[in-house]
Chains A and B, each alone.
Chain A
Amino acid sequence: MSGLEQSYAVLLPEFVVAGGGILLLLFGVFRGDRSQSVVSNLSILLFVIAAYFVVVGADGTAFNGAFIADGFSRFVNVLALLGAAATLLMAQAYLETERLMRFEYPVLIVLATLGMMLMVSANSFIALYMGLELHSLALYVLAAFKRDSIRSTEAGLKYFVLGALSSGMLLYGISLVYGFTGTVSFAGVAAVVGKTGVNIGLIFGLVFLIAGLVFKIAAVPFHMWTPDVYEGSPTPVTAFFITAPKVAAMALILRAIIVPFPDALHQWQQVVQVIAALSMALGAVAAIGQANIKRLMAYSSIGHMGYALLGLAAGTPQGIASVLVYMTIYLVTNAGVFACILAMKREGEYVETISDLAGLARTQPKFAFAMAAFMFSLAGIPPLAGFLAKFYVFMAAINAHLYALALLGVIASVVGAFYYLRIVKIMYMDAPAPAFERDFGGRIGTVMAGAGAFTLFFVVFAAPIVAAAGTAAQALFK
């Protein structure tokens, strides 16, 4: 039985989240919807406790190698847990205003986060698929959470149908990989590919696998669903979609490509390069004409996924570390932007067009300053966090001799800077629109201030984060 006991020790953080989620569900069912704020606060506490267990947790594999806990999973799990906690923290005011105070909301976020933790630690293709479905299913429900709004239900349905399609592609790819290697474990696939070399059938499976996976991070050409789903979903749900699940899905892609296919580097590198180039280009151009800020952030996130994939295209430990640093900064900055969007409330109604921000610097200077900092960071202007993120990724690409791709990335970020700076211009130069409600609550203020401080002063404490990302990336190349 010692093997099973060891499995449980390795899975301790996941047990904490799963058990906590089920207890919160029971509590909510007995107490009804008036317990929503209690369940929500307890969920945030649960995330913090789980993050502690992740940090102190043991390395190792569990359940015959289906599950692995290592430096990589630890780094990403802490990110995902903190991202989920932050989005839950700032959701409360919106849910109260829109009468969505239902205790299932935090419970679904907890279960989605559990799915993310399991997929980050997946060490076989079946575990990968189960974790992915666990987290996606919760996200589909969350997208349609505002069920009386036709746009929210449309977002949920669209996400569900296209998500099911991508699962189909993923499973098809996995079945081909299994057919040509005879195993589903990552290490087993790596061993077979190393021994027998790459054949065309395996490449076929690999391409389908990548197509199914990049759907989850909404990289071009699998991005069509993103603007509609992000615009239609309730804003706190969009804030959640754009932060933690993106980081977890990106981590899943890193592990599912690097660990089983080190000997097929040249094959997947081409595919990832094309996806990265297209995403960067589309993210830079398509966001320009947007009037709705959630839609703009959707296109912006497509572009950012392209930059992050640039690090993966390098295929080196340095490249993977740069992706992790990029995703950390991406997560914090986007959490900050969405804290700002959730503070855009006028006479009891939430507004989400960019023109509503006009002249914000005169009515609410601090709010406008935070938003401007996030926009400069997303545009990649030094010395803010976003600049360093792009710097590390481009350095990794150049060291891997991907000069053309790095050049394209620089051009795309210059073009993309236009729409980020336009928001700053609207806030600081245009005639003021009617002011927003001054009191957006301490919780949103906390996230805004915390993310703002991280974005402004990242240079100061970059070293430990970059070092941690470096060790995390090394875990994939053992």
Chain B
Amino acid sequence: MILASIAFYLFSAVLLASALAVVGARNPVHSVLFLILAFFNAAALFVLLGAEFLAMILVVVYVGAVAVLFLFVVMMLDIDFEELKKGAQAYVLPGAGVGVLLALELVLLVAINWHIAPVAPGVAEATMPAHVTNTEALGRILYTNYVYYFQLAGLVLLIAMIGAIVLTLRHRTGVRRQSIRQQVARDPALAVQLVDVKPGQGAAP
């Protein structure tokens, strides 16, 4: 038990520190690297909670796809981040003020009224049946009870795909494309021309 607590505090501390570093780092590449560190620590916290499927998804999707995409964009776009940050300095104080105010309100209004339902600790303590993994348990309800939401999510992704194509795909003229039909139909008569070259004059078409 003490080992789990130590692990929890370690991962949480690193997570918070790296999240701060994401916002604070001067170099945007460092920011993305800290973001990846934050994702790994969050995944470790999920493992401590017994949600290994979520942990793996977090690593695969966020580290494997999203963060790497960020890194590409940051490296490929020539943006002067120092220049961008200059304007933001003016908003730091009012922004922080609003944030603190909102946080205080939340603490005063929500946290004071937060009651833990009598059944909640029991639910949290209930362990998964030994022979059912996270993945299987999710799969059992995702395709049955939640099939409606699952299909809707699919439609949302379809729209995202159509949108990306509509807004960015351009058919440029003058691009040489491979045409299998032309390649197959080509024969020696079309491709080769025999020229009778006179000595000392060179070949002129």
Residues of chain A having any CB pair with chain B under 8 Å: 18, 22, 25, 62-64, 66-67, 102, 104, 107-108, 111, 114, 118, 126-127, 130-131, 133-134, 137-138, 140-141, 144-145, 147, 156, 176, 179-180, 182, 199-201, 204
| B114 x A201 contact (CB < 8 A) | yes
Of A63, A111, A114, A204, which one neighbours B148 at CB under 8 angstroms?
A63
Give every chain B residue within 8 A of A147 (Cβ-Cβ). 166-167
Give every chain B residue within 8 A of A131 (Cβ-Cβ). 152
Of B106, B113, B148, B159, which one neighbours A134 at CB under 8 angstroms?
B159
| A134 x B162 contact (CB < 8 A) | no
CB distance from B105 to the nearest CB of A (A): 8
Give every chain A residue within 8 A of B103 (Cβ-Cβ). none
Give every chain B residue within 8 A of A127 (Cβ-Cβ). 148-149, 152
| Interface: B156 (CB within 8 A) | yes
Shortest Cβ distance from B157 into A: residue: A137
Give Cα A143–Cα B198 distance, bound, in whole angstroms. 68
CB distance from A27 to the nearest CB of B (A): 14
Beyond A108-B166, A199-B113, whether A141 also contacts B159 by CB under 8 A is: yes
Which size class do B's interface residues fall under? 20 to 34
Give Cα A214–Cα B167 distance, bound, in whole angstroms. 28
| Interface: B160 (CB within 8 A) | yes
User: Could you mark each residue 144-155 of chain B with 1 if its beta carbon is under 8 Å from any beta carbon of chain A, else 0?
Assistant: 010111001101
| A133 x B166 contact (CB < 8 A) | no
| Interface: B96 (CB within 8 A) | no
CB distance from A368 to the nearest CB of B (A): 37
| Interface: B117 (CB within 8 A) | yes
| Interface: B189 (CB within 8 A) | no
CB distance from A319 to the nearest CB of B (A): 29
A-B pairs, 4 with minimum CB distance: A141-B163, A63-B148, A130-B152, A201-B113
| Interface: B109 (CB within 8 A) | yes
User: What are 20 residue pairs bridging A and B, where the CB atoms are less than 8 Å apart in the complex?
Assistant: A18-B155, A63-B148, A102-B166, A104-B165, A104-B166, A107-B162, A108-B159, A108-B162, A108-B163, A111-B158, A111-B162, A114-B155, A134-B152, A134-B155, A137-B163, A156-B167, A176-B110, A179-B114, A200-B113, A204-B110
CB distance from B37 to the nearest CB of A (A): 25
Give Cα A126–Cα B151 distance, bound, in whole angstroms. 13
| B156 x A133 contact (CB < 8 A) | yes
Beyond A200-B109, A201-B114, whether A63 also contacts B162 by CB under 8 A is: no
| B109 x A145 contact (CB < 8 A) | no
Of A126, A144, A180, A200, which one neighbours B149 at CB under 8 angstroms?
A126
Give Cα A180–Cα B114 distance, bound, in whole angstroms. 8
CB distance from A68 to the nearest CB of B (A): 12
| B117 x A182 contact (CB < 8 A) | yes
Shortest Cβ distance from B163 into A: residue: A141
| A134 x B156 contact (CB < 8 A) | yes
| B162 x A141 contact (CB < 8 A) | yes
| B110 x A201 contact (CB < 8 A) | yes
Give every chain A residue within 8 A of B147 (Cβ-Cβ). 63
Give Cα A133–Cα B163 distance, bound, in whole angstroms. 14
